[in-house]
Amino acid sequence: MIAALMPVYARADVAFERGEGPYLFDADGRRYLDFCSGIAVTALGHAHPKLVAALTEQASRLWHTSNLFRIAGQERLAARLVEHSFADMVFFTNSGAEAWEAGLKLIRKHFAEQGRPERHRVITCSSGFHGRTLAAISATDQDKLTRGFAPLTEGFDVVAFGNLNELRAAITPATAAICVEPIQGEGGIRRADIQYLQGLRAVCDEFGLMLFFDEIQCGMGRTGKLFAHQWAGVTPDVMCLAKGLGGGFPIGAVLATERAAEGMTAGSHGSTFGGNPLAMAVADAVLDVLLEPGFLDEVARIGDRLGRGLAELVARHPTVYQEVRGAGLMLGLKCVPPNADVIARLRAQGLITAPASDNVVRLLPPLIITDDEVAEALDALDRVGAGWTEAQLQ
Ligand SMILES: *Cc1c(COP(=O)(O)O)cnc(C)c1O
């Protein structure tokens, strides 16, 4: 059965059958605590009653019409995203990479519209990740993403993440934008510091560049604010979202200021499925929950609690866990033994986590977790930390 699938993933030998809140159940009925959330996607856990109701209600009325017609759910969700962000306009996609690429097209179109088509290059960061389309892999310096896929898309200059001097030196008359993840996810849960994000805004203002934040992983409440860049008190010109936005239903979105989006006129871009009524209904319900008074404050509180617990584990098991990274409920543990081994042992202890580059184990629990579940996860991590004998670490 597996042989009929292209083997592009090294899959763990477990298949889940059912989910309930922060828990997953496999075919044998074994229960796992899900601190992966489908890689920051099932932000409200599994089978959240409000999302199930929104999806089934919409499913019994209307699935798809086409962007040739008005779609009430799109108009409503776009207006709400605009109300709660820097943006004036939204375009909906089906995935993160598509949303990121729509952002890239929007930036190029903006400068073309201004009669400056030569300004089309985008500065990106080392260990960044923006998806798997040809343009998105071209924006990285990671050989593992690009090997064998040449020729790549032209127009990217990669600089060290967090280094403003190197970034300034890379700006040329052809530079259009700077694209950064406020917290790098796949790259190893690396958090940009606040001064760096503020510096990016200042550099963009100084040189007339667009600031493009990829919040596909770090956005939608994961850090305890709706968007991670809000901690720095700066706003981008363009931002892409996906993952948590749909709570498990495929969706992406690119948000932009009116000025940035000036070239996106009728016929310039499109999508058959993007902004489908089912996706809109679920994302609208996700936003309802995230915006409930106190919800994001609780994410920040419990994230802080989990982060402090992880720091204690680093102190207790320094030969296994080396460092805690991230913010809110987007946390990473840099490991000493291979992260894949740590993840397998955690799974055997009933805790599901995800890998990231730089030998990091990612902890991306649903935003609805409670203190009890944090304690349960820390116990599993503690048991795995304690189970590594000196001999095994040689
Ligand atoms: C996951 C991710 C993407 C790609 O999203 P897909 O839905 O897999 O296309 C892009 N950027 C970041 C920061 C991501 O975490």
pLDDT of 47 reads: 98
Q: What is the C-alpha separation between 355 and 335, in angstroms, rounded?
A: 11
Reported as a single tens digit per residue, the pLDDT across 23-64 is 999 999 999 999 999 999 999 999 999 999 999 999 999 999
Band (pLDDT 50/70/90 cuts) for residue 132 is very high
User: What is residue 36's three-state secondary structure?
Assistant: coil
User: Considering only 8-12, 41-45, 245-249, which range has the smallest mean pLDDT?
Assistant: 8-12
Task: List Cβ neighbours of 14 (8 Å cut-off, separation of 6 or more).
Answer: 26, 347
In the predicted structure, residue 391 carries a pLDDT above the cut 80: no
CATH topology assigned to domain 50-290: Aspartate Aminotransferase; domain 2 (3.40.640)
- Please state, for a pLDDT cut of 90, what percent of the chain lies above it: 97
213 is annotated as an active-site residue: no
Does residue 97 have its Cβ closer than 6 Å to ligand 1?
A: yes
Atom of ligand 1 nearest to the CA of 214: 13
Catalytic residue among 34, 161, 225, 243: 243
Does residue 278 have its Cβ closer than 6 Å to ligand 1?
A: no
Cβ atoms within 10 A of the Cβ of 270, count? 12
In the predicted structure, residue 1 carries a pLDDT above the cut 60: no
Q: What average pLDDT does range 217-242 have in this prediction?
A: 98
pLDDT of 3 reads: 87
CA angle 349, 355, 358 (to 5 degrees): 130
In the predicted structure, residue 81 carries a pLDDT above the cut 80: yes
Q: Return phi, psi of residue 108, to 5°.
A: -60, -40
Does residue 251 have its Cβ closer than 6 Å to ligand 1?
A: no
pLDDT of 369 reads: 98
Catalytic residue among 35, 92, 129, 212: 129
Band (pLDDT 50/70/90 cuts) for residue 390 is low
Nearest to 299 by CA among 38, 43, 35: 43
In the predicted structure, residue 104 carries a pLDDT above the cut 90: yes
Q: What average pLDDT does range 295-316 have in this prediction?
A: 98
- Determine contact, residues 240/214, Cβ cutoff 8 Å: yes
pLDDT of 335 reads: 98
pLDDT of 394 reads: 56
Tokens 């402090």 sit at which residue?
Answer: 308
CATH topology assigned to domain 16-47+293-393: Aspartate Aminotransferase, domain 1 (3.90.1150)
For 270-384, strand residue ranges (E) read: 321-327, 330-335, 351-352, 354-356, 360-363
For residue 193 the two structure tokens come to 């510091």
Q: What is the C-alpha separation between 358 and 362, in angstroms, rounded?
A: 11
In the predicted structure, residue 294 carries a pLDDT above the cut 70: yes
Catalytic residue among 109, 111, 213, 214: 214
Does residue 342 have its Cβ closer than 6 Å to ligand 1?
A: no
Residue boundaries of the structural domains of the chain: 16-47+293-393, 50-290
- Determine contact, residues 94/270, Cβ cutoff 8 Å: no
pLDDT of 388 reads: 87
Q: What is the C-alpha separation between 306 and 374, in angstroms, rounded?
A: 6
- Determine contact, residues 296/290, Cβ cutoff 8 Å: yes
In the predicted structure, residue 242 carries a pLDDT above the cut 90: yes
Q: What average pLDDT does range 120-125 have in this prediction?
A: 98
Does residue 185 have its Cβ closer than 6 Å to ligand 1?
A: yes
DSSP tag of 174 = T
Relative to beta strand 360-363, strand 354-356 is antiparallel
Residue of 100, 180, 229, 330 to test ligand 1 pocket, by largest number of atoms within 8 Å of CB: 100
For residue 50 the two structure tokens come to 């409000």
Q: What average pLDDT does range 269-293 have in this prediction?
A: 98
From residue 347, how far is each of 14, 35, 188, 353, 370 by CA, in Å? 10, 10, 20, 8, 20
Supply the residue whose CA is at minimum distance from atom 6 of ligand 1: 96
Does residue 366 have its Cβ closer than 6 Å to ligand 1?
A: no
Q: What is the C-alpha separation between 147 and 283, in angstroms, rounded?
A: 35
Nearest to 36 by CA among 372, 350, 387: 350
From residue 386, how far is each of 183, 320, 345, 350, 390 by CA, in Å? 30, 9, 11, 16, 10
In the predicted structure, residue 2 carries a pLDDT above the cut 80: no
Supply the residue whose CA is at minimum distance from atom 11 of ligand 1: 130
Band (pLDDT 50/70/90 cuts) for residue 145 is very high
Tokens 């009325």 sit at which residue?
Answer: 61
DSSP tag of 21 = B
In sign, the C-alpha dihedral spanning 325, 349, 22, 81 is positive
From residue 6, how far is each of 13, 39, 59, 96, 197 by CA, in Å? 16, 20, 31, 21, 39
91 is annotated as an active-site residue: no
Average pLDDT, the chain: 97
Supply the residue whose CA is at minimum distance from atom 15 of ligand 1: 217
